[in-house]
Amino acid sequence: MKNFILRIKPIIEDRNTRAGRLFDWSIQILIVISLICFSVETLPDITPAWHQIMRIAEIVIVVIFTLEYILRLIVSDRKVRFIFSFYGLVDLAAIIPFYLSTGIDLRSIRTFRFLRLFRAFKMMRYSKAIIRFQKALKMVKEEMIMFMVLTVILLFLSGVGIFFFEHKAQPEVFKSIFDSIWWAIESLTTVGYGDIYPITVGGRIFTFFVLMIGLGIIAVPTGLIASALSRVRDQED
C-alpha cells in the first residue's frame, strides 16, 4: 500500500511532472465536458438518444471524479483536514448529487440538480492564475474586509439619504429604507437598471455624489488586488 501511495502521490499532487500535468489536464477536460452536458440537457428539443448519451457521459465522469476523490484522500497526509478543506468539499459536492439521486427520481428538484455546477469550482485547483489570485487575496485580506465593512455602511447611509430626499415625492417607489438600499446597490455598483431613480433636486444632487463614490468602490479593491498579484508574481520569479 505504501509503495502504491508513493507512486501515485506525485501524479495526484505534483503539477511539475509530466504525469501530473497529464492528470490535471484530463480532469479539467472532464469538468468542461460535464458542464457542457449539463447545459445540453436543458435544451427543449433534445432527442431521447442524446439524453441517453448525456446519461452515459455523466456516469463515466462521476466514476472518474469519484476515483480522483478517493485517490486524493489516500495520498493526503492529513485526511480529515482534506475532507473538510475547501477543495475536499468541492470534490465531494461534485459527485454527491449523482449518488443521492440513484434509485430516486429527484429530477424535479432543480436545486438538487444545480449542485452539479459545483464541478466548475474544481477548475480552481488546476489554474495557476487562480492560485495566484488566492494568494493575492490572502495578502490583502485585512484591507478587503475593512473595505467591505465600509461598503456596507456606505450602502446603508446611501439608502437612508435617498429615502430622506425621495420618500415624500415617490412613496410608491421608495417605500422603505430597504427599498432605498436596493437603489443604493444599483447606484454604487454603477449598474443602474433605471427602475428606480430620483426626481427631486436634492435626490439628484445626492445621487451625483453617490455615483462618484461608486466609481471608487470599484477602483479601490481592483487596485489592491492588482498590487497584490504583482507582488505574488515577483515572489514566484
pLDDT confidence of residue 141: 86
Q: pTM of whole model > 0.85?
A: no
Which tens digit of pLDDT belongs to each residue from 206-237? Answer: 888 888 887 777 788 888 888 888 888 877 76
Residue 219 belongs to domain spanning = 139-236
User: Is 134 domain-assigned?
Assistant: no
Q: Are residues 15 and 121 in the same domain?
A: yes
| 87 and 55 in a common domain | yes
Residue 91 near residue 69, CB atoms below 8 Å: yes
| DSSP per residue, 182-236 | HHHHHHHTT---SSS---SHHHHHHHHHHHHHHHHHHHHHHHHHHHHHHHHHHHH
Are 16 and 97 found together in one domain?
A: yes
Q: For 165-184, how does the pLDDT look when each residue is reduced to its tens digit (9 = 90+)? A: 888 888 888 888 888 888 88
Joined grid coordinates for residue 128: 495557476
10 and 115 housed in the same domain? yes
Mean pLDDT of the chain: 81
Mean pLDDT of 73-96: 87
| CATH number of domain containing 46 | 1.20.120.350
Rounded distance between C-alpha atoms, residue 143 and residue 151, angstroms = 12
186 and 120 within one domain = no
What pLDDT is attached to residue 184?
85
d(CA 171, CA 102): 52
Task: Read off the DSSP letter of residue 85.
Answer: S
- Asked if 31 and 8 sit in the same domain, the reply is yes
Residue 108 has pLDDT above 50, yes or no: no
Domain tally for the chain?
2
Flag whether pLDDT at 204 surpasses 70. yes
pLDDT-above-90 percentage for the chain: 4
